[in-house]
Structure 1
Amino acid sequence: MTDTSKVFVYPQDVSAFGFDWGRLALTVAPEVNGARRFSGGVVDLPSGQGHARHNHPGAEEIIFVISGNGEQMVEDEAGKPVVAKVGPGCTVFVPESRYHSTLNTGDGPMQLFVVYSPAGPELALRDLPDFRMLPPGT
């Protein structure tokens, strides 16, 4: 049975992964609420910031733009980068193991909701040199 205190989760109520380019607050993950098949959370990108080209071997990703505007790159089947302007309401599907990157090109913050399936590829972010764990509420 699921602990109902972990069913409704706000990003400010969990620890977040902090980076020079922004932050990721996992609101759904095995370690947060026992999710087994996927993980996800809220990404905040300040104006002019974004995450570098990377991939998640063996995992698919969904990126939903909550607010702000940016450029999203997702490589096609041949490995060629495809770049599109994205804004609120846009859903981006990143196929398994594909390289991708996001850049906030707007004047204000950009907020995304990301989902990984299966759960776990976000844990590799802890190995990045600029990673820091941020306590809830920061």
Structure 2
Amino acid sequence: MTRDKYFIYPKDVSAFGFDWGKLSLTVAPEVNGADRFSGGVVDLPSGEGHARHNHPGAEEIIFVISGAGEQMVEDENGNPITRQVGPGCTIYIPESRFHATKNTGAGPMQLFVVYSPAGPELALRELPDFRQLPVGC
């Protein structure tokens, strides 16, 4: 099936690879012309996660598709709030707030993330462990 801009599977786009997992952007200006938000599927192997970071000027939504993990989000005073999360949980990350995710389960963890406005994901290309993965990986 040919990819179009309305129906996109993670396997149909190149992915951002990192030592801790990968991000397959399925919604973004460069993927389908979305201009108010971007998003995609994050795959985290067991025991892996992304370090504490923030997205200046952007909000984020993380939806847990599968697996189990630990999510940290800083509150408005900069205090970390950590919770165990699993399938069906939606995590809201306010604008510019620091956060971190770790897969604490025995198997893979899969998330769907949304950034608003689009763009914070492009900064990931500057990380030292970034690599562009070909379509289908």
Q: Give the aligned partner of residue 48 of structure 1.
A: 47
Q: Give the aligned partner of residue 10 of structure 1.
A: 9
5+ long unaligned stretches in structure 1 = none
Query: 1:127-138, aligned counterparts within 5 Å?
Result: 127-138=126-137
CA RMSD across the alignment: 0.7
Superposition TM-score, scaled by structure 2 size: 0.98
| Cα deviation, residue 32, structure 1 | 0.1
| Distance (whole Å) between structure 1 residues aligned to residue 4 and residue 108 of structure 2 | 29
Residue type of the partner of 2:115?
Answer: Y
Query: 1:1-138, aligned counterparts within 5 Å?
Result: 5-138=4-137
Total equivalences in the alignment: 135
| Distance (whole Å) between structure 1 residues aligned to residue 4 and residue 74 of structure 2 | 39
| Cα deviation, residue 5, structure 1 | 1.4
The secondary structure found in structure 2 opposite 1:114 is: strand
| Distance (whole Å) between structure 2 residues aligned to residue 36 and residue 125 of structure 1 | 18
Residue type of the partner of 1:114?
Answer: V
> Structure 1 segments of 4 or more deviating over 3 A?
none
Identity %: 80
Q: Deviations over 1:45-98 (max 9, x none)?
A: 000000000000000000000000000000000101100000000000000000
The secondary structure found in structure 1 opposite 2:88 is: coil
| Cα deviation, residue 6, structure 1 | 1.2
The secondary structure found in structure 1 opposite 2:47 is: coil
| Distance (whole Å) between structure 2 residues aligned to residue 75 and residue 15 of structure 1 | 31
5+ long unaligned stretches in structure 2 = none
Superposition TM-score, scaled by structure 1 size: 0.97
| Distance (whole Å) between structure 2 residues aligned to residue 29 and residue 137 of structure 1 | 18
